[in-house]
Amino acid sequence: MEWLDFFEDEFTNVFPETPIRKISKDSTKAIWEGIYNRNDVQLISRGKPSLITSEDMVIYHNNFHEIFINKQSQDTIKITGTYVVAWRRQPNDSWKIVFESVMNN
């Protein structure tokens, strides 16, 4: 799960039916390990992203379509939605995600 390297060690996370919260990369990794252990996850498509940029922040907005296939039952959940991610420039001029929000349609 190298994609977690793009997150700050602690970031704001907003997902459906959960409170807005600060969450760590380690706890996010544990959550996704559980998801991947139970499901085959396939990203079907993404739309064309929208970007809002400034000197030290970038807001990234896009839509997605993915499926989760339960490894035991083969039940399939299709999810479409949108996500918003905020990237912040770090002191070393790299960029890290400081905010992530997913809204299912």
pLDDT digits (tens, 9 = 90+) for 8-64: 999 999 988 889 999 999 999 999 999 999 999 999 999 999 999 999 999 999 999
What pTM, to 2 d.p., does this model score?
A: 0.83
Q: Which domain holds residue 43?
A: 2-104
- pLDDT of residue 104 exceeding 90, the answer is no
CB 80 within 8 A of CB 68: no
Number of domains composing the chain: 1
Cα distances from 69 to residues 81, 101, 102, in angstroms, run 17, 23, 19
Cα distances from 80 to residues 42, 43, 45, 66, 84, in angstroms, run 12, 10, 9, 6, 14
CATH number at residue 21: 3.10.450.50
* Confidence bin at 1 (pLDDT 50/70/90): confident
Q: How far apart (Å, rounded) are the C-alpha atoms in residues 32 and 101?
A: 15
Q: How far apart (Å, rounded) are the C-alpha atoms in residues 97 and 53?
A: 14
